[in-house]
């Protein structure tokens, strides 16, 4: 059975087999999720924010320990979270892109002063 998952902020909606991890679903459809450990739950780079817990597998003890309190904000590890139904997750902005965006905004503010 296939289920749909939507990746924000792009709004890209893809259909995958039920039980697929969020990381695998993203990879198979070209949605970039950062990872260094290749899904072994050790790099913690694949964090996503679940917009609802429905449609996603319950958090296991290991994932809860790794996230150490971030789960209250809906944070999940894409590599450890399985898609069980219709789900929506938000991907954090790439840190390098965020730094460039902030620098460009700062530059634009300085340009207004002249």
**16 binds ligand FES, rule: CB under 6 A:** no
End-to-end CA distance of the chain: 60
Could you tell me which of 66, 61, 59 has the C-alpha nearest to residue 82?
59
Q: Read off the DSSP letter of residue 93.
A: P
**77 binds ligand FES, rule: CB under 6 A:** yes
CB of 42 to ligand FES, least distance (A): 6
Would you state the structure tokens that stand for residue 90, as one six-digit string? 């938000």
**79 binds ligand FES, rule: CB under 6 A:** yes
Size of the site for ligand FES (CB under 6 A): 12
Of positions 41, 49, 70, 86, contacts ligand FES by CB under 6 A: 41
**49 binds ligand FES, rule: CB under 6 A:** no
Is residue 65 helix, strand or coil?
Answer: helix
Cβ atoms of 49 and 38 within 8 Å: the answer is no
CB of 43 to ligand FES, least distance (A): 4
CB of 114 to ligand FES, least distance (A): 45
Summarize as ranges the residues that interact with ligand FES (CB under 6 A): 23, 35, 37, 39, 41-46, 77, 79
């Amino acid at each position: 059975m296939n289920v749909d998952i939507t990746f924000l902020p792009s709004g890209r909606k893809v259909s995958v087999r039920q039980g697929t991890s969020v990381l695998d679903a993203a990879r198979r459809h070209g949605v970039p999720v950062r990872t260094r450990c290749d899904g072994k739950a050790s790099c913690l780079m694949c964090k996503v924010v679940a917009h609802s817990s429905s449609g996603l597998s319950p958090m296991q003890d290991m994932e809860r320990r790794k996230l150490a309190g971030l789960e209250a904000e809906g944070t999940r590890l894409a590599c450890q979270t399985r898609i069980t139904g219709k789900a929506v997750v938000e991907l954090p902005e790439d840190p390098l892109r965020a730094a460039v965006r902030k620098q460009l905004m700062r530059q634009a503010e300085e340009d207004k002063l002249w």
